[in-house]
Amino acid sequence: MKFKVFLKNTHIDMLQDLSKKYGIHNKEKLIKKCVETAIKLNDNDLIFDEVREQCTMCFSAEPKFDIEIDDIDYSNLKQIFEYYDFNTYNTEEEEVSKTIRCIINFFDEEPDLLSN
């Protein structure tokens, strides 16, 4: 599934920090790794719970680049968005991007949990 991912500049900075730590210099590959690892952790509350992910500026996210991820992973991200009580967005791409931003936030705080 190919779609435009909406990120804030702070998420780009977080990706750069993770890139240095893990030596993955392609943002798309790094996001895929974060998504796959988050799904494998099988503990969505750890990543998406209310305390961690209530944000005030998510609507300032802008389309940054196209990303292609596995259809099943995309579907999982949509289900996660629907399960948690996130703000309403205009498009499905923005909703899935919100889920990805949460994952990036999580691995920025817990980089050692990102699997090699």
Please, where are the H alpha helices in the chain? 9-22, 27-41, 44-48, 50-53, 71-83, 92-109
pLDDT value, residue 55:
57
The size of the chain, in residues, is 116
Task: For residue 75, give the 3-state DSSP assignment.
Answer: helix
Where do the structural domains in the chain lie, given as residue ranges? 2-113
> What pLDDT digit, counting tens, does each position of 64-100 carry?
889 999 999 999 999 999 998 788 889 999 999 999 9
Confidence of residue 50 (pLDDT cuts 50, 70, 90): low
pTM of this structure = 0.90
> What pLDDT digit, counting tens, does each position of 15-42 carry?
999 999 999 999 999 999 999 999 999 9
